[in-house]
Chains A and B, each alone.
Chain A
Amino acid sequence: MKNGAVLTVNDLRVYYDTPAGTVKAVDGVSFDLRPGERLGLVGESGSGKSTMALALMRMHKPPARIAGGEVLLDGVGDVMELDDEGLRRIRLDRLALVPQGAMNSLNPVMRIRDQLADGIRTHEPGDDRDALTARIRAQLARVGLDADVGGKFPHELSGGMKQRVAIAIGTSLSPSVIIADEPTSALDVVVQRQVMETLRSVQEEIGASVLIVGHDMGLMAQIADRMGVMYAGKLVELAPVHDLFTNPQHPYTRLLIESVPTLMAKRALASIPGAPPTLINVPPGCPFHPRCPRAFEPCDSEVPLPMSQNGRVVSCHLYPEEAA
Chain B
Amino acid sequence: MTAFLEMTNVSKVFSAGIIRRQHTVAVDDVTMTIDEESPSILAVAGESGSGKTTLARLLLGVIPPSSGEVIYRGQSVDDLSRAQRRTYLREIQPIFQDPFESYNPFYKVDHVLTVPAKKFQLSESKQETTRLIEEALDMVGLQPAETLGRFPHQLSGGQRQRVMVARAMLLRPRLIVADEPVSMVDASLRATILESIRRMKQELGISVVYITHDLTTAYQIADNILVMYKGSVVEAGSVEQVIRDPQHPYTQLLVSSIPQPDPSLPWGAEAEIAGDPESMAVAATGCKFVERCPVAFDPCRGQRPPLYHEHPSRAAACFRYNDSPELEGENLDLVFEPQLTSQAASGSEDPAAN
Question: Which A residues are within 8 Å of any B CB, using their own CB?
Answer: 16, 18, 20, 42-46, 50, 100-101, 104, 144-146, 148-149, 152, 156-161, 164, 182, 185-194, 197, 215-223, 241-242, 245, 255-257, 259-263, 266-272, 275-276, 278, 280
Question: Which B residues are within 8 Å of any A CB, using their own CB?
Answer: 14, 16, 45-50, 53, 97-101, 141, 143, 145-146, 149, 154-159, 162, 180, 183-192, 194-195, 213-217, 219-221, 240, 243-244, 253-254, 257-265, 267-268, 273, 276-279
Q: List 23 A-B contacts (CB under 8 A).
A: A46-B159, A50-B156, A50-B157, A100-B157, A100-B184, A104-B98, A104-B101, A156-B16, A157-B49, A159-B97, A161-B49, A182-B184, A186-B213, A188-B47, A189-B213, A191-B47, A193-B273, A215-B186, A216-B259, A218-B216, A262-B261, A276-B189, A278-B143
B192 lies within 8 A of A271 (CB): yes
A160 lies within 8 A of B267 (CB): no
For A197, the closest partner residue in chain B by CB is B273
Q: Which 9 A-B pairs have the closest CB atoms?
A: A160-B48, A45-B158, A158-B49, A269-B191, A218-B259, A271-B191, A146-B279, A189-B257, A222-B267
- A263: chain B residues within 8 A (beta carbon): 215-216, 219, 243-244, 258
Tell me, in angstroms, the Cα distance from A104 to B260 when the chains sit together. Answer: 29
- A257: chain B residues within 8 A (beta carbon): 187, 261
A182 lies within 8 A of B244 (CB): no
- B158: chain A residues within 8 A (beta carbon): 45-46, 215
A50-B156, A159-B53, A182-B184 known; A144-B143 Cβ under 8 A: no
Which of B16, B141, B253, B264 meets A152, CB within 8 Å?
A: B16
- A220: chain B residues within 8 A (beta carbon): 261
A190 lies within 8 A of B254 (CB): yes
A45 lies within 8 A of B184 (CB): yes
- A50: chain B residues within 8 A (beta carbon): 156-157
- A269: chain B residues within 8 A (beta carbon): 190-192, 194-195, 217, 220-221
B53 lies within 8 A of A158 (CB): yes
B183 lies within 8 A of A186 (CB): yes
Which of B14, B156, B194 meets A45, CB within 8 Å?
A: B156
B279 lies within 8 A of A46 (CB): no
B49 lies within 8 A of A242 (CB): no
- B143: chain A residues within 8 A (beta carbon): 275-276, 278
- A218: chain B residues within 8 A (beta carbon): 216, 258-261
For B278, the closest partner residue in chain A by CB is A161
- B157: chain A residues within 8 A (beta carbon): 45, 50, 100-101, 182
Name B's interface SS.
loop
A266 lies within 8 A of B220 (CB): yes
A222 lies within 8 A of B146 (CB): no
Interface centre among A16, A190, A223, A242 (most CB of B within 10 A): A190
A222 lies within 8 A of B263 (CB): yes
A45-B156, A271-B189, A276-B141 known; A185-B219 Cβ under 8 A: no
Name the distance in Å between B39's Cβ and chain A's nearest Cβ: 18
- A157: chain B residues within 8 A (beta carbon): 49
Which of B145, B159, B184, B265 meets A215, CB within 8 Å?
A: B184
A145-B278, A241-B263, A275-B141 known; A261-B180 Cβ under 8 A: no
- B279: chain A residues within 8 A (beta carbon): 145-146, 148-149, 161
For B16, the closest partner residue in chain A by CB is A156
B259 lies within 8 A of A272 (CB): no
A190 lies within 8 A of B259 (CB): no
A219 lies within 8 A of B259 (CB): yes
For B239, the closest partner residue in chain A by CB is A266
Name the distance in Å between B15's Cβ and chain A's nearest Cβ: 10
For A184, the closest partner residue in chain B by CB is B213
A186 lies within 8 A of B262 (CB): no
Which of B146, B156, B217, B260 meets A280, CB within 8 Å?
A: B146
- B260: chain A residues within 8 A (beta carbon): 218, 221-222
Name the distance in Å between B12's Cβ and chain A's nearest Cβ: 13
- B101: chain A residues within 8 A (beta carbon): 104
Name the distance in Å between B155's Cβ and chain A's nearest Cβ: 8
- B46: chain A residues within 8 A (beta carbon): 188
A189 lies within 8 A of B258 (CB): yes
Tell me, in angstroms, the Cα distance from A46 to B3 when the chains sit together. Answer: 40
- A158: chain B residues within 8 A (beta carbon): 48-49, 53, 278
B154 lies within 8 A of A18 (CB): yes
Name the distance in Å between A139's Cβ and chain B's nearest Cβ: 14
A45 lies within 8 A of B189 (CB): yes
- B253: chain A residues within 8 A (beta carbon): 190
A145-B276, A271-B188 known; A261-B217 Cβ under 8 A: yes
- A101: chain B residues within 8 A (beta carbon): 98-100, 157
A259 lies within 8 A of B278 (CB): no
For A241, the closest partner residue in chain B by CB is B263
Tell me, in angstroms, the Cα distance from A140 to B53 when the chains sit together. Answer: 24
A101-B98, A158-B48, A191-B278 known; A45-B191 Cβ under 8 A: no
- A146: chain B residues within 8 A (beta carbon): 276, 279
